Every structure is written in structure tokens, then in C-alpha cells.
């Protein structure tokens, strides 16, 4: 693994990252849900958003978000394809205003994984399997991330976010992770 890049992931670099604060221990994994435009799967728009290339003229939904500077470390597409945008040791811009157990600025100490989907569309089994395998690989690299330190975006930003949503099967995910009693 070159620095914080997973060898099993397709590398599509995002410019939207920076260094983590000195002395920060990476100890949180945040699961997100995304589709662009909402409910559309498989297009190039997530890559475009994370690379600052989203054309606001393509779809009305893109107008207010085209200028955002956001990223995630990883994306898992509906078919299970794993894409990495940011080195895991760097700070991706995925959590926004957030808090976990009284600690603000979750981007500082977390890794973000996006699942292609919506809050109310069931995720695919291939996504759960890749998410579990990827989470285990991340946990091996960053042992401070335990099953109790894997959360949804909605857990760290409950007044702003609902993802990965009610369609995300936490029980299945933790079963695949090998921690059914979390």
C-alpha cells in the first residue's frame, strides 16, 4: 500500500483534502450515502463532485452544489466497485459540522466511506461485502477504529444529515464484519 492508498481500490484523486492536525489519532469510520442526482446511480457525477468538475448545467440539482469543495476517502458503487479519492492518512472533507462523543470536527480524526445509494433504497449485498472487507482492512491499519467507532453520517451530524439512511442494514453490516453483537 502506497502511503494510505488501498491496493484494491481504483484511485481517482480528489484535490479536496488537507493534512490532519498534528498528533491526531485516526479512530472513527463514518459511513455515508450519496447519489447524484438523488436516486440516479452509476453516472460520473460523484467523481465530478469530488474533483471539482461538476457541471451545474447538466441537472438542476447540481446548481447549488457545483461549487462545493467536498470529498470522501472512499466510494463503494452499487456493483461493489471500490474507488479511493483521498489518502487515508490525510483529512478528506466528508463530515462537515460534526461531533462524536463530544469531539468536534470529525474530519480531523475519521475516515469517510460513501455508499452509492439513498436513505430509502436498499443497498446491494455487494456493497455490504465490500464495505465489510474495506472496514476490516482500515481497522487493521488504524486499530483505534473498533466496531463501536463505526457510525453513520447521521450519528455525527444528526441535525443536518440522515445518511446512510433507514435502508442501511446495520445488522447485516456488523454480521459481515464479524461483530454481530455490536
**Catalytic positions, written as ranges:** 114
Which pLDDT value is given to residue 2? Answer: 72
What are the residue ranges in the chain where pLDDT is below 70? Answer: 1
DSSP 84-116: E-S-TTSEES-S-S-EETTEE-GGGTEEEEEEE
This prediction's pTM: 0.97
* CATH architecture observed for domain 10-177: 3-Layer(aba) Sandwich (3.40)
Domain residues of the chain, as ranges? 10-177
For 1-50, the pLDDT digits (tens) are 577 999 999 999 999 999 999 999 999 999 999 999 999 999 999 999 99
Which pLDDT value is given to residue 171? Answer: 97
Amino acid at each position: 500500500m502506497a502511503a494510505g492508498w488501498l491496493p484494491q481500490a481504483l484511485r481517482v484523486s480528489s484535490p479536496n483534502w488537507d493534512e490532519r492536525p498534528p498528533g491526531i489519532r485516526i479512530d472513527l469510520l463514518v459511513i455515508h450515502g450519496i447519489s447524484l442526482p438523488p436516486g440516479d446511480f452509476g453516472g460520473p457525477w460523484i467523481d465530478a463532485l469530488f474533483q471539482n468538475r461538476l457541471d451545474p448545467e447538466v441537472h438542476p440539482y447540481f446548481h447549488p452544489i457545483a461549487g462545493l469543495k467536498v470529498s470522501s476517502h472512499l466510494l463503494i458503487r452499487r456493483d461493489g466497485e471500490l474507488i479511493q479519492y483521498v489518502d487515508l492518512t490525510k483529512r478528506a472533507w466528508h463530515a462537515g459540522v460534526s461531533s462524536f462523543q463530544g469531539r468536534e470536527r470529525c474530519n480531523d480524526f475519521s475516515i469517510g466511506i460513501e455508499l452509492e445509494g439513498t436513505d430509502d433504497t436498499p443497498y446491494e449485498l455487494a456493497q455490504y461485502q465490500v464495505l465489510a472487507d474495506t472496514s476490516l482492512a482500515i481497522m487493521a491499519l488504524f486499530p483505534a477504529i473498533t466496531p463501536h467507532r463505526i457510525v453513520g453520517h447521521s450519528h455525527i451530524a444528526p441535525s443536518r444529515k440522515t445518511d446512510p439512511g433507514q435502508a442501511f442494514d446495520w445488522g447485516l453490516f456488523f454480521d459481515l464484519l464479524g461483530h454481530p453483537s455490536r
